[in-house]
Structure 1
Amino acid sequence: MSDDATIALVTGANKGIGRAVAGRFAELGMTVLVGARDLEKGAEAAAELRAAGGTAYPIGLDVTDQPGVTAAAEEISGRFGRLDILVNNAGISGELGAQSPGSARLDGVRAVFETNLFGVVTVTEAMLPLLRRSPGARIVNVSSGTSSMTWMTDATHYLSRMPGSVGYPVSKAALNMLTVQYAKALARDGILVNAVAPGACDTDFAKGLPFQLTRTAADGAAIVVRLATLGRECPTGGFFDDNGKVPW
């Protein structure tokens, strides 16, 4: 590994959009840390990236496990010394029946927030000392178009016709605000923080959605990679998709 290679950690990187992001980072010559709750699956994904000519290493990372996240940060510190890019991609849709207004179950809602919001806090806090060692660190939080209150209340937008849910879209709206707060706090360190809406892609995560999926995981990964690799002109504290800014 070159000392000047960009070190990028992607959570939930063994499949779906996270795997596509990791693959593109590897193609760009980065050292990719494949974060995965199941280390064996992470190792398989990392091996695939190496077979394609990339530099990749698996990192066991369950974002809901504080001691495990701390151990992962220590491992990264010991092996690589710093972190240049953090992509908080790991997320769950949760049990949909537990999220319906009027019949919601708090255990199901809390499970979604544990991964989609509190997991991001846990990982970001653990990795901040490593990110501060980078000359120009980037954090990209993978949010969702379902978090846009503008789209959800616009009768002309298809998202406004989705059933109500007190779990997944609410957790992603909270993630957007979290993104803004970290962007404000870390601007003085030169760390840029943004959220992205990758769109509904044809992955295991999106199975069961009530519409046809035409986007691939690579399509969804493109905006993540773009925000992670822009130079000093990169914005911070924003929410973006392929077309530019997403309305809050």
Structure 2
Amino acid sequence: MSLTSVSRQQLSKYLNDFLNVSQFKDYAPNGLQVQGTEHISTIVTGVTACQALIDQAAALNADAILVHHGFFWKNEPEVITGMKYNRIKALMAHDMNLFGYHLPLDAHQSLGNNAELANKLGIIDVKVCTDIPQNLLWQGKFPQPLTIAQVNALLTEKLNRAPLHIGDGTEAISSIAWCTGGAQDYIDHAAGLNVDAFISGEVSERTFHCAMEQGIHYFAAGHHATEQFGIKALGEHLANEFGLTHHYIDIVNPV
């Protein structure tokens, strides 16, 4: 158990500054979403603030949960009933804070989801496509050209999930663009970059036609799978920065 702690206010300010929260226009509030205990010594990180994550965090006597997918999304029902009520009730019953960081965690250039995915896949010559708002689309290349089968194998090994590949032809893949999560519609912009392939998490019916008609390979590698690394890296960073106890909990999600 950690012998040190940080105040809720101090942790909140640090995270908001570190992730440049004020620079993002998002679909949900970034930062403290549900208030809990004032002093935080044990934190749990996970991709989504689902009931299973909350229950496991409570079993660990966590003071705070940090997630990429939190609560209070734009256009969702505003009432706190049913599933949302059960989740918030559990947080409050155990006096646990809930922090959520969505787009700021995708875009962070040292430990965000895009940065961590590049690290896991060994992508080099990484740069951010600055003409896409909020620095969400990145591009780079593999150290050496890979076949389609090799890219599939690499994604399966690193993400623990087999991707769906869309594309025509057998040419080797070198240059690549990516944006984690539900960013399949960035494929059109990726095609304009003249890269060989685009990686994201999800896939839509229209994505097939976009890939085939623009001659770009698309790898749908899983929303959860592509976004599991950023929040874990953030938790590890906070543990080192403040001497906190950190547990990353992976609630398996095939989507």
Relative contact order (C-alpha < 8 Å, sep 6+): which is higher? 2
Could you tell me the TM-score, scaled by structure 1's length? 0.26
Q: Per residue, is there more helix in 1 or in 2? A: 1
Could you tell me the TM-score, scaled by structure 2's length? 0.26
Q: Per residue, is there more strand in 1 or in 2? A: 2
